Amino acid sequence: MSDSVISPAAERRLFNQSMIGYLLKGRFRLYQGHKPLAQHQIPEDFSGICVASMADAACDDQVIDYLKQLSLKQVRLDFTYGALDNHGARFLQRLLDKGFKVMLRLIPSMEDASQMDQPEAQQRWSDFVEAVLQRFGRHLESVEVGNTVNRRRWSGYRSLEQFMCAWRIAYAKLRAHGVTIAGPNVTDFEPPYNAGFLAVMRKARLLPDIHTDNLFAERSIEPELFDHKVLGRRLAGLPKLNLIKKARLIGKLSAEYDVPKTYSTTAFWTLPRIARRLVDAEIKQADYVARYMVLSAASGGLQRAYWGPMVSQREGLIDDGTGHPAAHELVTRYDSNDGCPSNFRQRPAFYAMAAFNQRIPGSLYLGQLSESEHLQVHAFRRPDGELLHVVWTTNGNAAVLGQLYSHDELSAATGHDLHGQALADLPDLVGESPFYLSWPAGAEVHPQQGQSVMPGLCVYSSRRDGQHYHFDDGQWRGMVFARDRAEADQLLAALHPEHLQGPSKSAMLRKARNVIWRVADPRQSGDWLVAKKPNRLRWNKQITDRLKPSKAARSWNGAYEIMRAGLGSPKPVAYFERSDRKDPLNNWYICEYAGEVPSVKEFFGAYARGETHCHGITREDFFTQLRTFLLRLHKVGVYFRDLTGGNVLVHLDDLDKIHFSLIDTARARFYPHSAPLSARLSDLKRTCYKLDWDGRIAFMQGYLNAIGRDFNFFYRLPFHYFDWKMNAKRLLKGKSLRRVAEAPGKGA
């Protein structure tokens, strides 16, 4: 169908009307859109990946070998000016010769994109498209036109008119050569732009064959969560814009404009973004790859989802070994790899992608078998009849596998981990790393309805020195971390509340609100663990503590949340609580023993007395390293609420490098964003209590300068108030106003 003439001004009006209409007409509404569509066939060619090569021809072979390992035949390759004369054309020919289905994305130079309404730029673009199609056109699966067209800074297009000039030129040539047309490549979930572009294209009779969008879920942090960027965190549950609903809405737009297919042509999580809050960035990237791809396939809104780039320092399934990011945003142009092929390294996400590709494409999606957004159970029927379930939780959560499936169902199941490796034994818990459960052809397995994650419990799934075992004997329940089931039974036998030896005078570390004491480590003769039990509670706490997790569970959770952020805390070993939860004093938390190490209180006390060194460390050096630790603590969203100097332990290595760890973690709160300034000051006034005012000013000035503040009069008020409060407490207790040193606890 020929191009229908429409003026640039009319295009702009139509574009704006369509964008505004999308919002005002409530087209975000889609009944139960946040849930996947059951009983739909997933295409065999559902998965794709964005690839590139480099001047070194060895990279061609390396990337093709990676594609074989990933079980992938669908690739997207970026092509811009000069590609016909460099490694781009050589690599494209290799891919075609090897039988890969190539979506070629044609991209003008940034300079020409910004001048595409000028004849000279139009001619260069026309010549480039024609030359590419003359050489490769009949061999390509499709050609994509558009690169993050809703981002002027990245694409170069400064106006709708400029992009539509490029689209018209490419469209005419692609139709003449009989090549499938994809576009316009809107980036992220911004459907008003999709609606605007498709409306203009339909009016001009220039609709693509494939509607493309870079459907990221990175800004939601996790692919299952509702996007908080639309209406804020408190109202995110109203539109319910999770990845599934986004995919379905983009697919719905395609259908409204009679475009038969919808592809997401780029998605990734950058490692630095993950590392803002979590320490195990590469492991978490692997989790996100599997979770993203399963949800994209389950959604029913996409016919294909490309991951990419394959190779890069920040984003890739393959680390390019350079140690530095690409010079430009790879989402808008990925036409060359950096580094040296011999230094490339496969990340855990590579194997997670391979495991997905070997199991899910080509299967029938049966449906989501869980009702909670925090527990994901997705069922597939593979072409050979095998029943496959993919199971995981959102970050930090856990569910008991034995409560989700019957004993007989689990006995008949075969398990594979995130990377496709066979599991010798099925895990006791479902965690944030997906795993696969499979049953023979003809099997019918239905998880228990109403199951969800364990309430009020955090589990650190990335601990690689063992696994978690759930315990519940009807009277006591809890959790144990051990290398294997035999060690878990050993720990349970020794640490169960009915067997645990009470505190002797020599083992006692502290007795106040909590009793803290050392217990023998049953795993290793001569080693110690630390046990902590509430000793007394004020009358109001006796009531309110029944409405929240036990103190033992809160200590366990706090330690794990801190460890997940890459900060130190003695590793949890076990916790126990009464199953009926009637007695808030009847619970135990057990962790590893930190040893006889000093605390920040000891250092601050020495510097306040005028000593120039403490344990060989100068005040300036100690302040610098402690500030770095506390800035990280607050940046990842921790409001510790009991950040006294005695609760920050100081570990010195042989190179006088200081490592800090936190104990007494039960009161900590955790934000999904950086801790607010009020919370930071509340923490720091406790930390600095043992410092003299000169020391406080020096320490706090450096901390606040790092976040663009000054330690002025108003920020000093909480410190004065805390001094007054502590002195008043001592006076009321009949003690002198002189500060009394307290021995720090060592591990709980």
SS3 364: strand
Read off φ and ψ for residue 506, nearest 5 degrees.
-75, -25
Read off φ and ψ for residue 721, nearest 5 degrees.
-60, -40
| pLDDT at residue 174 in the model | 98
CA distance 465 to 463: 6
Tokens of 359: 């199991």
Q: Verify cis geometry, omega within 30 degrees of 0, for the bond prior to 497.
A: no
Instruction: Please give the CATH topology (third level) of the domain spanning 364-439.
Output: Immunoglobulin-like (2.60.40)
Phi/psi region, residue 290 (left: phi>0; alpha: psi -120 to 50; beta: rest), is alpha
Q: How many CB atoms lie within 10 A of CB 400?
A: 15
| pLDDT at residue 3 in the model | 66
Residue with tokens 């309404």: 117
Question: Per DSSP, what are the bridge partners of residue 307?
Answer: 49
Architecture of domain 600-732: Orthogonal Bundle (1.10)
Quickly list DSSP for 83-126.
GGGSHHHHHHHHHHHTT-EEEEEEE--HHHHTTTTSHHHHHHHH
Tokens of 581: 């939860």
Tokens of 438: 């499979």
| pLDDT at residue 537 in the model | 74
For 327, 477, 496, 497, 498, the CA distances from 473, given in Å and listed in that order, are: 58, 6, 11, 12, 12
| pLDDT at residue 1 in the model | 46
CA distance 83 to 104: 12
- The amino acid at 425: D
Tokens of 467: 């696994």
- The domain segmentation of the chain, as residue ranges, is 46-359, 364-439, 467-592, 600-732
Relative to beta strand 476-482, strand 101-107 is unpaired
CA distance 306 to 215: 10
CA distance 225 to 374: 9
Question: Is the full-model pTM beyond 0.85?
Answer: yes
Residue with tokens 């002189």: 738
Instruction: Please give the CATH topology (third level) of the domain spanning 467-592.
Output: Phosphorylase Kinase; domain 1 (3.30.200)
Q: How many CB atoms lie within 10 A of CB 687?
A: 24
- The amino acid at 285: Q
Scanning 228-280, the segments in alpha helix (DSSP H) are 228-231, 243-256, 271-275
CA distance 644 to 742: 11
CA distance 485 to 483: 7
In this structure, are residues 444 and 537 in contact, taking their beta carbons and an 8 Å threshold?
A: no
Residue with tokens 């592809």: 263
**Residue ranges in the chain modelled with pLDDT below 70:** 1-3, 542-546, 734-748
Q: Give the up-direction half-sphere exposure of residue 93: CA atoms within 13 A in the CB hemisphere.
A: 11
SS3 content of the chain, % helix, strand, coil (to 5): 40, 20, 45
In this structure, are residues 254 and 261 in contact, taking their beta carbons and an 8 Å threshold?
A: yes
Relative orientation angle of helices 693-706 and 619-635, to the nearest 10 degrees: 50
Task: Give long-range contacts, CB 8 A cutoff, 24+ apart: 363-367.
Answer: 363/41, 363/42, 363/388, 364/39, 364/40, 364/41, 364/42, 365/36, 365/37, 365/38, 365/39, 365/40, 365/41, 365/42, 365/297, 365/298, 365/300, 366/38, 366/39, 367/36, 367/38, 367/39
In this structure, are residues 251 and 296 in contact, taking their beta carbons and an 8 Å threshold?
A: no
Q: What is the 3-state secondary structure (H, E, C) of 46-88?
A: CEEEEECCCCCCHHHHHHHHHHHHCCCCEEEEEEECCHHHCHH
Architecture of domain 46-359: Alpha-Beta Barrel (3.20)
